[in-house]
Amino acid sequence: MEPTVPIKVKTVYDQKALTAMARGLRRTVRKKHSRISRVIAGIIIALGLVTGIAPALLEPGEGVQWMCLLAAALLLVILCTEDWVNGFLARKKALPGTTESEAVFEADGYSTITQVGTTVWKYEAIRAIAESERYLVFVFSNRHAQIHDKTGLTQGTPEELAALIREKTGLPIVKL
Protein backbone atom coordinates (compact mmCIF):
# COMPACT_ATOMS: atom_id res chain seq x y z
CA MET A 1 0.00 0.00 0.00
CA GLU A 2 1.45 3.34 -1.06
CA PRO A 3 1.18 5.82 1.85
CA THR A 4 -0.61 9.08 1.18
CA VAL A 5 0.83 12.18 2.75
CA PRO A 6 0.37 14.22 4.80
CA ILE A 7 -0.44 11.95 7.72
CA LYS A 8 -1.44 13.73 10.94
CA VAL A 9 -1.27 12.30 14.47
CA LYS A 10 -2.30 13.88 17.76
CA THR A 11 -0.62 12.46 20.85
CA VAL A 12 -1.00 13.11 24.57
CA TYR A 13 2.13 12.34 26.55
CA ASP A 14 0.40 10.82 29.58
CA GLN A 15 1.69 8.07 31.89
CA LYS A 16 0.45 5.28 29.61
CA ALA A 17 2.19 6.78 26.57
CA LEU A 18 5.43 7.43 28.45
CA THR A 19 5.44 3.88 29.82
CA ALA A 20 5.11 2.56 26.25
CA MET A 21 7.91 4.90 25.17
CA ALA A 22 10.19 3.61 27.95
CA ARG A 23 9.37 0.03 26.90
CA GLY A 24 10.26 0.94 23.31
CA LEU A 25 13.64 2.29 24.39
CA ARG A 26 14.28 -0.79 26.54
CA ARG A 27 13.42 -3.21 23.74
CA THR A 28 15.45 -1.46 21.02
CA VAL A 29 18.61 0.56 21.72
CA ARG A 30 18.84 -0.40 25.40
CA LYS A 31 18.24 -4.10 24.77
CA LYS A 32 21.74 -5.39 25.63
CA HIS A 33 22.11 -3.15 28.69
CA SER A 34 18.62 -4.09 29.88
CA ARG A 35 19.34 -7.81 29.54
CA ILE A 36 22.57 -7.51 31.54
CA SER A 37 20.82 -5.45 34.24
CA ARG A 38 18.00 -7.98 34.51
CA VAL A 39 20.42 -10.91 34.86
CA ILE A 40 22.34 -9.11 37.60
CA ALA A 41 19.08 -8.16 39.34
CA GLY A 42 17.91 -11.79 39.14
CA ILE A 43 21.13 -12.98 40.77
CA ILE A 44 20.81 -10.37 43.54
CA ILE A 45 17.17 -11.34 44.13
CA ALA A 46 18.11 -15.03 44.35
CA LEU A 47 20.94 -14.25 46.79
CA GLY A 48 18.59 -12.07 48.86
CA LEU A 49 16.07 -14.89 49.10
CA VAL A 50 18.71 -17.48 49.98
CA THR A 51 20.41 -15.32 52.62
CA GLY A 52 17.05 -14.24 53.99
CA ILE A 53 15.54 -17.70 54.38
CA ALA A 54 18.58 -19.99 54.80
CA PRO A 55 19.36 -19.07 58.44
CA ALA A 56 15.83 -20.02 59.53
CA LEU A 57 16.02 -23.35 57.65
CA LEU A 58 19.52 -24.32 58.79
CA GLU A 59 19.06 -23.36 62.42
CA PRO A 60 15.38 -23.48 63.46
CA GLY A 61 16.01 -21.10 66.37
CA GLU A 62 17.28 -18.38 64.07
CA GLY A 63 14.86 -15.91 62.58
CA VAL A 64 14.38 -14.96 59.00
CA GLN A 65 16.67 -12.19 57.79
CA TRP A 66 13.95 -9.69 56.95
CA MET A 67 16.25 -7.02 55.55
CA CYS A 68 17.57 -9.41 52.88
CA LEU A 69 14.03 -10.45 51.95
CA LEU A 70 12.89 -6.82 51.89
CA ALA A 71 15.78 -5.83 49.61
CA ALA A 72 15.00 -8.76 47.26
CA ALA A 73 11.29 -7.86 47.20
CA LEU A 74 12.04 -4.18 46.54
CA LEU A 75 14.37 -5.04 43.67
CA LEU A 76 11.72 -7.38 42.22
CA VAL A 77 9.09 -4.63 42.36
CA ILE A 78 11.43 -2.16 40.65
CA LEU A 79 12.27 -4.74 37.99
CA CYS A 80 8.57 -5.41 37.28
CA THR A 81 7.66 -1.71 37.11
CA GLU A 82 10.81 -0.45 35.37
CA ASP A 83 9.02 0.99 32.33
CA TRP A 84 6.37 2.70 34.44
CA VAL A 85 9.04 4.27 36.68
CA ASN A 86 11.07 5.45 33.67
CA GLY A 87 7.90 6.91 32.13
CA PHE A 88 7.09 8.67 35.40
CA LEU A 89 10.58 10.17 35.58
CA ALA A 90 10.38 11.25 31.91
CA ARG A 91 7.10 13.04 32.62
CA LYS A 92 8.74 14.93 35.50
CA LYS A 93 11.56 16.07 33.17
CA ALA A 94 9.27 17.15 30.31
CA LEU A 95 9.15 20.81 29.42
CA PRO A 96 5.90 22.62 30.23
CA GLY A 97 3.67 22.78 27.17
CA THR A 98 4.92 19.54 25.62
CA THR A 99 2.33 17.13 26.99
CA GLU A 100 0.24 17.34 23.82
CA SER A 101 1.62 17.27 20.31
CA GLU A 102 0.50 16.98 16.73
CA ALA A 103 2.83 15.40 14.19
CA VAL A 104 2.50 16.02 10.46
CA PHE A 105 4.29 13.44 8.32
CA GLU A 106 5.33 14.52 4.82
CA ALA A 107 7.40 12.79 2.14
CA ASP A 108 10.68 14.53 3.08
CA GLY A 109 10.33 14.68 6.87
CA TYR A 110 7.87 15.44 9.62
CA SER A 111 7.16 18.17 12.11
CA THR A 112 5.83 18.10 15.65
CA ILE A 113 3.76 20.97 16.97
CA THR A 114 3.36 21.65 20.70
CA GLN A 115 2.43 24.70 22.77
CA VAL A 116 6.13 25.49 22.94
CA GLY A 117 6.74 25.53 19.18
CA THR A 118 7.25 23.52 16.03
CA THR A 119 10.17 21.18 15.40
CA VAL A 120 11.07 19.78 11.98
CA TRP A 121 12.59 16.27 11.88
CA LYS A 122 14.35 14.27 9.18
CA TYR A 123 13.60 10.56 8.97
CA GLU A 124 17.36 9.84 9.04
CA ALA A 125 17.46 10.92 12.72
CA ILE A 126 15.42 7.86 13.74
CA ARG A 127 17.68 5.04 15.00
CA ALA A 128 14.99 2.47 15.83
CA ILE A 129 11.23 2.04 15.66
CA ALA A 130 8.98 0.11 18.02
CA GLU A 131 5.26 -0.50 17.78
CA SER A 132 2.66 -1.53 20.31
CA GLU A 133 -1.05 -2.05 19.80
CA ARG A 134 -1.62 1.67 20.31
CA TYR A 135 1.68 3.50 19.82
CA LEU A 136 4.57 3.97 17.42
CA VAL A 137 7.85 4.83 19.16
CA PHE A 138 10.66 6.61 17.31
CA VAL A 139 14.00 6.17 19.10
CA PHE A 140 16.69 8.80 18.51
CA SER A 141 19.29 7.79 21.13
CA ASN A 142 19.62 5.77 24.33
CA ARG A 143 17.78 8.56 26.17
CA HIS A 144 15.57 10.25 23.57
CA ALA A 145 12.44 9.06 21.83
CA GLN A 146 9.08 10.23 20.54
CA ILE A 147 5.77 8.46 20.73
CA HIS A 148 2.84 8.72 18.34
CA ASP A 149 -0.63 7.52 19.30
CA LYS A 150 -2.19 5.54 16.43
CA THR A 151 -5.66 6.22 17.86
CA GLY A 152 -4.92 9.95 17.48
CA LEU A 153 -4.63 9.80 13.70
CA THR A 154 -6.65 12.64 12.20
CA GLN A 155 -5.46 12.02 8.65
CA GLY A 156 -4.21 8.68 7.32
CA THR A 157 -4.29 5.18 8.77
CA PRO A 158 -1.94 3.30 11.12
CA GLU A 159 -0.90 1.05 8.22
CA GLU A 160 -0.04 4.06 6.03
CA LEU A 161 1.98 5.63 8.83
CA ALA A 162 3.93 2.40 9.48
CA ALA A 163 4.54 1.94 5.75
CA LEU A 164 5.78 5.53 5.36
CA ILE A 165 8.15 5.24 8.32
CA ARG A 166 9.50 1.85 7.16
CA GLU A 167 10.02 3.22 3.62
CA LYS A 168 11.72 6.45 4.70
CA THR A 169 13.97 4.98 7.41
CA GLY A 170 14.65 1.51 6.02
CA LEU A 171 14.42 0.21 9.60
CA PRO A 172 12.43 -2.77 10.85
CA ILE A 173 9.61 -2.12 13.32
CA VAL A 174 10.09 -3.97 16.62
CA LYS A 175 6.82 -5.26 18.10
CA LEU A 176 6.29 -4.51 21.79
**Whether residue 1 has pLDDT greater than 60:** no
Among 60-74, 91-105, 118-132, 160-174, whose mean pLDDT is lowest? 60-74
State the SS3 of the chain.
CCCCCCEEEEEECCHHHHHHHHHHHHHCCCHHHHHHHHHHHHHHHHHHHHHHHHHHHHCCCCCCCHHHHHHHHHHHHHHHCHHHHHHHHHHHHCCCCCCEEEEEECCCCEEEECCCCEEEECHHHCCEEEECCCEEEEECCCCCEEEEEHHHEEECCHHHHHHHHHHHHCCCEEEC
What pLDDT is stored for residue 176 in this prediction? 87
pLDDT at residue 99 greater than cutoff 90: yes
pLDDT of residue 58: 78
Digit-coded pLDDT (tens) for 113-132: 999 999 999 999 999 999 99
Mean predicted confidence (pLDDT) in 81-104:
93
What is the tens place of the pLDDT at every residue in 151-164? 999 999 999 999 99
